Structure 1
């Protein structure tokens, strides 16, 4: 007769090598399960090409995303010297939600580099890249810098379609919101008063099986230590990073 403790130990003995094999195969990014002041185990990790383009880390002061040379957030296959970079994403549910993001950035001047983040709506199992043909709607904020003073900017736009909107680089909160078929973006300088940027009717995206918040990036050369630090993410008013 086998007691409960023995059965439990046997199950753990079986599961341990299976989990190790999954980690070794690159199906799960171990960093996504690191606990601390900031927990990110509810996020998905879409690894970069050969798992070498882009990295993330949950630290005591936020969720960090770091660039690697030659990564590109618009590609799903390598070409022209660039390769798909790491994307991390978190599923959104329902037809009515609000996501408030607070982040800061280190982006030295030099080669062009950017961090892309926002809302991706499309196929259930598709990689949520900016260039993905499986998407029905992408709302993208991009914080970038490059060799020219004008490159130091923050913009937001939607694909397909609309022109980019310039945003203050020092904004406190960027808000993405859905209400039925309508998607909107607004920002706040003080966490209280929100300034509307745009609101669009995206009925074609309403029935898509998946909607995600995502973070990715691009680096045209040496990223010089560039990183994005996500300090807060509130879904419908509830902090979900801590």
Structure 2
């Protein structure tokens, strides 16, 4: 069968294992059903996820112009501590920024390679952790806006990484730690403004089980900019990566806005 469309990050459904879906304009594909089968990926072109024009993708699925104008990719996305909507101050579009920033946010610990600290909107639990390939995750605080989450993350960055080692994550080379016990150590590390939101009695440890038949010993990242056509047997899905039998891994999210043809 042939599927064609613009790549966007795989949609997921929490379960045992996680269910993955590639969604195109006129079709969708349950990727789990392709495990242990041959899949061919062919690069066909570009289409900006924001303006829809067939322009080369610059970053995060956006063309150059949209990346530097759309409020959906402002600096506060990657650096929540830069959020200013709670002050009524706009970055690019105050109405949009109020909608996103002025809602409950979670600061969390996750096990994806090392112990990682991060921020996500409450509505993105557990999707955010699935996208990172985390085997476990737990909330530290739930705060009413993105700024408070951001300053909490900054305070904890000197104790935990805020990045995932994607190679270790895909090789399932991860640390094993009691996140419930780890959370208990953090009360005196978070900012004073956030202390009231710190609760240690929540039973909210998530465990993620990914559909992986075999983890690779070495990984080689597939780039559609360098390789326009690739074929391999799908052995697993973790985070936003497809894992193939020869150790090739394909990060779907890194190629959002790329038009592809999939042969199954």
TM-score bracket for the superposition, by shorter chain length: under 0.3
Q: Could you say which structure has the greater relative contact order, defined with CA pairs below 8 angstroms and 6 or more residues apart?
A: 2
What TM-score comes out, normalization by structure 2 length?
0.24
More helix per residue: 2
More strand per residue: 1
